[in-house]
A and B are shown apart, each in its own frame.
Chain A
């Protein structure tokens, strides 16, 4: 019987991958568990193993082929042939050389040039590397940031360039290493702490709030805490309630913290550089699903993007859409749809949640007189509640309709695909919300 081997999904958010190396050729006999090929996803390089026993009769993709969608057939094996049985697969493969190749393929960090296309992931890494080259007090600490090259490959290559004294793997003890990093910042170092995801920052919330955010004030300005906490925040794909939540509003509630939630590639780089240089504790919220987004870095050498400035992502006349991070993608998609109906949306990319750029918000309201605020977080006491309050306080007379918010539903994130989709803001909901007030 002939069976197809399909491109597997190797992480919750993977939609496609590259086949970097075939470990088998036509005619090889495979046992269950034998490695077939090395697949590179946006997060990591991993081996695909055979889940059947039989002989390889066809390879359907070339070594080096990129962007192969999940569930695409990549090879065919015949489970009936017995003729080559006995010739062990492992004899034909030198495991050590395979490992070696992986190591050599680790990219050495070289910053992308101005104007070139790069991913969010690389932009973050470039920002880290550039700031580390400029200032020996900057170091990176977190789980799997060094030898593993980053759970989401963000810190790839940094260990090779900066060594283990500055790229530091920690045990899985968020409260402990957060406190240690804050203590180190009290004596002048500038730690960048990676939370594998911000879900795990909840373990360390006491130190973030009570030790990092308040010490400057409690000490009458004597002791500052120049630290950055970064990592993915917000809903990921199909990882359920404990690993999929937007904590932006939590951090933005705390005086003493700055909170950044960027969207574009350029903003990720420029704002992270600004965060590292900032003498205050900064929460830098990334989004796992945005890591692979490609865009242009327009920053010149050593240029940063100032914290606390929103950006008009798109100009429009009829309504203002205000959002941050991945939901700006939703806003852009909806704006593209509505333009066909001659409705133009102005999109405000908050970029920084705290301090909030009230001026840009108010200015846009004065222009369009209508507004929908979109966020992934829960509605009660959320980022959108705050923005609506600001609009009420500072632009009420300019409104032609009540401001509407579209937020994540007030439920723990469900696992089921359909329910997860319902829990998050959708295009349909946004279009409906806009049309309700136009």
Chain B
């Protein structure tokens, strides 16, 4: 197995692809900012893990798969849901704990699902999404439907034992599963440097014969290029594959995290030089795919969508009392 170098090559996306990626990333960014704001106003409670900074990962990979493919992730999941095409009104209502939320207000930030969008959650236990995603891939193989599963988890989860139990079975049974390790450098407050013996997480599959590569997860073009390759391999029955996405979250682990384990300068540097949205915007303009004016218009439209989602959520009723005992069994 050869370790592939970090891919920095531009993949020359078309205008349409670039604009789509830009809009989707921007939607996630603005949505998460709004969620953060609403949390500060007490409209959202509990745990709320924001995806700001990591948008290129999920948007890029979603552009590599088909409708029949499934997505599953952990609790930093708002971005995944929006990328899967779930309705911002439904996601925001769930954050607000209202009846129009995807889980009727009973799941909250960490637990939303959409069968229609092939999004399987939203799982709150670190590492648990990995066997579950492997199981989705198992079902694809069982049904012989040629679908693949994108199983997301973080650098923290990458140290959980169940991840390796899953790797073993995924390779043993040649399951169509792509493991995406979103390495945002910190498992809550503990950096990869302090938590992981093998810091190159893309090589965590070596013992099982699973190939992997590190990808610049701040660059949407790198993500799409690596993602397409991985999906193609996995769909053509080559078994599981690991993509370690090197990314960064701008906010704390959750809303209540003061993030004292890293410096302001570190965050600023990433924001200033590696921001996936800003960088893509500059590329779009330099390639003359769009103008500052058009971009501004897109920004206004997206801000509208997000504002409306918050208004929608605020007006959605609380779940009625009889919901308390519903959905325990069917």
Using a CB–CB distance below 8 Å, which chain A residues touch chain B?
Answer: 139, 165, 170-171, 173, 175-189, 206-207, 210-211, 215-224, 255-256, 258, 279-280
| Contact of B133 with A183 in the complex, beta carbons under 8 Å | yes
A217 to B121 alpha-carbon distance, docked (Å): 13
Given contacts A176-B162, A179-B166, contact A222 B139 (CB under 8 A): no
A181 to B131 alpha-carbon distance, docked (Å): 8
| Contact of B104 with A183 in the complex, beta carbons under 8 Å | no
Residues in chain A near residue B327, CB distance under 8 A = 216-217, 219-221
A183 to B259 alpha-carbon distance, docked (Å): 34
Q: How far is the CB of A387 from chain B (nearest CB, A)?
A: 21
Residues in chain B near residue A280, CB distance under 8 A = 329-330
Residues in chain B near residue A178, CB distance under 8 A = 131
Beta-carbon contacts under 8 Å, B131-159 to A: 131-140, 142-143
| Contact of A181 with B135 in the complex, beta carbons under 8 Å | yes
- Whether, in the assembled complex, B13 has its beta carbon less than 8 Å from a beta carbon of chain A, the answer is no
Chain A, residue nearest B138 (CB):
A184
- Count of A-B contacts with CB under 8 A? 146
Q: Beyond A181-B135, A187-B139, A223-B121: 19 further Cβ-contacts under 8 Å?
A: A175-B162, A175-B165, A178-B131, A179-B128, A179-B130, A180-B131, A180-B169, A183-B131, A183-B134, A186-B139, A210-B125, A217-B327, A218-B103, A219-B102, A219-B327, A220-B104, A221-B327, A224-B330, A255-B328
Residues in chain A near residue B112, CB distance under 8 A = 219
Residues in chain B near residue A187, CB distance under 8 A = 70, 120, 135-136, 139-140
A180 to B143 alpha-carbon distance, docked (Å): 15
| Contact of B165 with A171 in the complex, beta carbons under 8 Å | yes
- Whether, in the assembled complex, B123 has its beta carbon less than 8 Å from a beta carbon of chain A, the answer is yes
Residues in chain B near residue A171, CB distance under 8 A = 165, 168-169, 172
Residues in chain B near residue A217, CB distance under 8 A = 106, 327-328
Q: How far is the CB of B288 from chain A (nearest CB, A)?
A: 44
18 contacts between A and B (CB under 8 A): A173-B169, A175-B131, A177-B165, A179-B130, A180-B132, A183-B136, A184-B135, A184-B139, A184-B142, A186-B135, A187-B70, A189-B138, A210-B124, A215-B111, A215-B121, A219-B121, A220-B102, A222-B103
Residues in chain A near residue B134, CB distance under 8 A = 176, 179-180, 183
A210 to B75 alpha-carbon distance, docked (Å): 13
Residues in chain B near residue A210, CB distance under 8 A = 123-125, 128
A405 to B178 alpha-carbon distance, docked (Å): 53
A224 to B104 alpha-carbon distance, docked (Å): 15
| Contact of B70 with A220 in the complex, beta carbons under 8 Å | no
A220 to B108 alpha-carbon distance, docked (Å): 10
Q: How far is the CB of A54 from chain B (nearest CB, A)?
A: 47
Chain B, residue nearest A217 (CB):
B327
A176 to B330 alpha-carbon distance, docked (Å): 26
Cross-interface CB contact of B113 among A179, A184, A223, A256, cutoff 8 Å: A223
Given contacts A217-B327, A221-B330, contact A179 B162 (CB under 8 A): yes
Q: How far is the CB of B2 from chain A (nearest CB, A)?
A: 27
- Whether, in the assembled complex, B101 has its beta carbon less than 8 Å from a beta carbon of chain A, the answer is yes
| Contact of A186 with B329 in the complex, beta carbons under 8 Å | no
Residues in chain A near residue B142, CB distance under 8 A = 139, 165, 184, 189
